[in-house]
């Protein structure tokens, strides 16, 4: 799922972000998450810089609020397309 996209917006639980970010690095894809930066994500920083890949964390208001607002937006899009 990651290979054909330009950017990955991750809403999985925070412990899984490093796994997804690692796949993003392998495919040279950008990664965005509203979760706080973990030590495991910090470890990927140098490789991301070398590959010119963005690993952006702490983007948004608060992880919980961001998840709720995203789910609301997805429901609205589903209603429009129904």
Closest CA to 53 of 29, 81, 77: 29
Give, as one character, the DSSP assignment of residue 35.
S
Whether pLDDT at 20 is above 80: yes
Q: Could you give all domains of the chain from N- to C-terminal order, each with its CATH number?
A: 7-81 (3.40.50.720)
* pLDDT exceeds 90 at position 11: no
For the cut 80, the answer to whether the pLDDT of residue 66 exceeds it is no
Q: In the prediction, which pLDDT does 46 show? A: 98
Parallel/antiparallel/unpaired status of strands 30-33 and 7-10: parallel
The pTM for the full model equals: 0.77
**Choice among 6, 45, 62, 66 that is catalytic:** 62
Instruction: Give yes or no: 79 in active site.
Output: no
Q: pLDDT tens digits for 27-60?
A: 999 999 988 899 999 999 999 999 999 999 987 7
């Amino acid at each position: 799922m990651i290979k054909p996209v330009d950017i990955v917006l991750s809403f999985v639980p925070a412990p899984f972000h490093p796994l997804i970010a690692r796949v993003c690095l392998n495919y040279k894809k950008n990664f965005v998450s509203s979760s706080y930066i973990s030590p495991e994500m910090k470890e990927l920083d140098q490789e991301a810089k070398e590959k010119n890949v963005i690993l952006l964390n702490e983007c948004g208001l608060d992880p919980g609020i961001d998840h709720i607002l995203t789910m609301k937006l997805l429901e609205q899009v589903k209603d429009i397309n129904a």
